[in-house]
Amino acid sequence: MEEQIGKVRVVYIIVNAGHADEVTEIIRSAGAGGATIMNARGEGALHEVFMGITVDAEKEIILCVAPDKIADQVMSAVKERAGIKTPAHGVCFSMPVDRVVGMNLIPAKPTEKEEHNA
């Protein structure tokens, strides 16, 4: 059931609604095997009130479990191609995963950078 998988992290990527598909393409190109997408609502310090109703930004959260090395590549790719200064307005962070049950982590294909350096 449980497998030793080495050091693994979960990367949380939060983007404006409508950008999750773009981000999943980015993380796959960075070597990740897959992702989970959730709809969310963001309420920052500057949320709007319109006719007495609070209007919060629609967001999408993409979760990606990956080995340490791939997680670093995923975060760099998201920052570069869907970061805070893009329409996706993406932010991301990662946390360590100490145990995985019921999930196969397929070894990622070499990234373009790794193939070029080989």
Q: Is 82 contained in some domain?
A: yes
- Stretches where the chain sits below pLDDT 70 are 1-5, 44-56, 103-118
Could you tell me if residue 77 is inside a domain?
Answer: yes
pLDDT score recorded for residue 114: 53
d(CA 37, CA 35) in angstroms, rounded, equals 7
pLDDT at 111: 53
Q: What is the count of structural domains for the chain?
A: 1
CA separation for the pair 66, 11 (Å, rounded): 8
Residue range of the domain that includes 82: 15-43+52-99
For the four alpha carbons of 72, 22, 5 and 12, in that order, the dihedral sign comes to positive
pLDDT score recorded for residue 34: 85
Q: What is the pTM of this model?
A: 0.77
Residue 81 phi/psi, 5-degree rounding, is -105, -15
